[in-house]
Structure 1
Amino acid sequence: MTDPVAVRRASVADLDAVAPLFDAYRVFYALPSDPAAARAWLEQRMRTGTSTVLVAHRPDPDGPGGPALGFSQLYPSFCSLELAPIVVLYDLFVTPDARGAGVASALLEAAREFSEASGAARLELSTAHTNVTAQRLYEARGWRLEAEYRHYELPLR
């Protein structure tokens, strides 16, 4: 049995706890560590409301919770075909020592609840083709591999 996990919306006051996780997430995807840039990016998103950051921790009845175990970052977007807002779950990271303890599942559920409450038609995410552990989790939680559209991108720098 795993310990319970609480997830809440992060605020600027949580930057010291969440920024190192964001930097570790970027390192996981083979980018160089840059704690100052990771913190500045998150702070800008939080202050401007251009993303929603969720933070997972062990519940603490006397305060906001224990140390951060993971985070996810959600970006609002739109689907012109459905004439509806959508939410993109762009970042999700769990500390190595908390993996397998339900943290990612709790973050995914909180992202689903947030997206439904915001009126979104769907929640989307992408992951590396090689990240089969995450793919198994997503599929076990009801996520479906999108097979109708091919995703392209055009690098601009």
Structure 2
Amino acid sequence: MQIRKPEPADFAAWSALYEGYAGFYGVTQTEEMRARVWSWVHDPGHEVEALVAEQAGQVLGLAHFRAFARPLSASTGGFLDDLFVDPGARGSGVAAALIAGVEAEGRRRGWTVIRWITAETNYRARGLYDQVSTRTPWVTYDLKL
């Protein structure tokens, strides 16, 4: 399995995965929205970056991440925004490989933490997350604008 930055030829596979991710969380997402995120991923000036997992020429998973400032510790961390694996490839190590890829990027850049959130009911993913990271006691809030 290869973890790498997505290439223009990956758009269709990435788009199908990202549509599946949105569906998993019950989020309405349009083709225009996916096109916007794809443009961010390929814009070196934008904060959002991506990795894909490829095996035997097939893109099986995606991860979107970005740096964030940590003023209290005067450091920079990484935030893993989206992680999704093709349902047919789940349990094969794709998610762990993508997390490891983001971790490697973070270590290379001197980040002090990789942070992410998931749904309380995302039990299968949480099983992996509990193995590779530490669950925090923090509660998340959204202030809708």
Q: Give me the TM-score of the superposition, normalised by structure 1.
A: 0.85
Q: Which residue of 1 aligns with 2:12?
A: 16
Q: Which residue of 2 aligns with 1:145?
A: 135
- Structure 1: gaps spanning 5 or more residues: 60-65
Amino acid at match of 1:126: I
Report percent identity of matched pairs. 28
Query: CA separation of 1:125/1:110 partners in 2, compared to 1, >3 Å: closer, same or farther?
Result: same
Please state if 1:96 is matched with 2:92. no
Judge conservation of contact 1:12–1:43 (CA < 8 Å) in 2: no
Cα deviation, 1:33-59, whole Å, max 9, x if unaligned, reads: 523321222223422432110000115
Matches within 5 A, 1:1-157: 5-47=1-43, 48-58=45-55, 66-141=57-132, 143-147=133-137, 149-156=138-145
4+ aligned runs moved over 3 Å, structure 1: none
Q: Give me the TM-score of the superposition, normalised by structure 2.
A: 0.91
Cα deviation, 1:15-42, whole Å, max 9, x if unaligned, reads: 2321221121111100135233212222
What is the Cα-based RMSD across aligned positions, in Å?
A: 1.5
Q: Which range moves more in the overlay, 45-54 or 17-26? A: 45-54
Bigger radius of gyration among the two: 1
Judge conservation of contact 2:40–2:49 (CA < 8 Å) in 1: no
How many Å apart are 1:71 and its aligned residue?
Answer: 0.5
Cα deviation, 1:85-123, whole Å, max 9, x if unaligned, reads: 110001000001101111001101111101111111100
- Structure 2: gaps spanning 5 or more residues: none
Write the distance in 2 (CA, Å) between the matches of 1:29 and 1:42: 19
Write the distance in 2 (CA, Å) between the matches of 1:17 and 1:101: 18
Amino acid at match of 2:120: H
